[in-house]
Amino acid sequence: MTKTDQTELPNDRSKLIGTGLKIGIVFSRFNGSITSKLLAGAKKTLLESGVNKQDIEIIDVPGALEIPYAAQSLMKSGNFNALVTLGCVIRGETSHYEIVSTQAAEGINRISLDNGIPITFGVLTTENAEQAIARSGGDKGNLGSEAALAAIELALLTKRLLPFN
Ligand code: INI
């Protein structure tokens, strides 16, 4: 599949009804001018998909490295159908870009698979600030919105495939 094919895959929001789902959001304050836009996009998408405002819990952490721990704590509460993680790691701003981005991704994925709860990855990992701006509500979309939509989709999938969970 080419890159063009992937971006043209149907992403029909009208089929994703999130009413009744409980969604936790963990977002990092590092690069806050970007992550606040990811958060706004995620909240807008959840509400537009029918998730009730009172069923959305938002937790903030200092940086992307803290996201997995906070997500795990939220998950252990047992109150959520899915979690959305939001952050921004910019290569130009850190010498330990690889550590922060890799550990955040690895940690998030591990706790999701280990615990059987969908956790979606709205953590931007970019070469520079321009790329991050473009992907947080600019001309390349909003990764926060995409992560929110993916969380609804996976939560509905889990309900369908594992109804007695
Ligand atoms: N955290 C980020 O979310 N993005 C970054 O780009 C970043 N940089 O540049 O270092 C970053 N570092 C902080 C890290 O996530 C932790 O908060 C910190 O190491 C304290 O544990």
Q: In whole angstroms, what separates CA 136 from the centre of its chain?
A: 12
> Which among 34, 100, 102 is the best mutation to test ligand 1's pocket, defined by most ligand atoms within 8 Å of the CB?
100
Residue 89, token pair as written in the block: 């790691």
Are 126 and 106 in contact by the 8 Å Cβ rule? The answer is no
User: From the alpha carbon of 94, which atom of ligand 1 is closest?
Assistant: 9
User: What is the reported pLDDT for 96?
Assistant: 85
User: From the alpha carbon of 123, which atom of ligand 1 is closest?
Assistant: 3
CA 86 – CA 73 distance, rounded (Å): 16
User: What is the reported pLDDT for 3?
Assistant: 43
What would the pLDDT profile of 61-71 be if each residue is shown by its tens digit? 999 999 999 99
> Which residue's CA is minimally distant from atom 10 of ligand 1?
94
What would the pLDDT profile of 104-155 be if each residue is shown by its tens digit? 999 999 999 999 999 999 999 999 999 999 999 999 999 999 999 999 999 9
Tell me what the mean pLDDT of segment 83-96 comes to. 89
Higher pLDDT, 114 or 14: 114
One-character DSSP codes across 62-128? SSGGGHHHHHHHHHHTT--SEEEEEEEEEGGG-TTHHHHHHHHHHHHHHHHHHHT--EEEEEEEESS
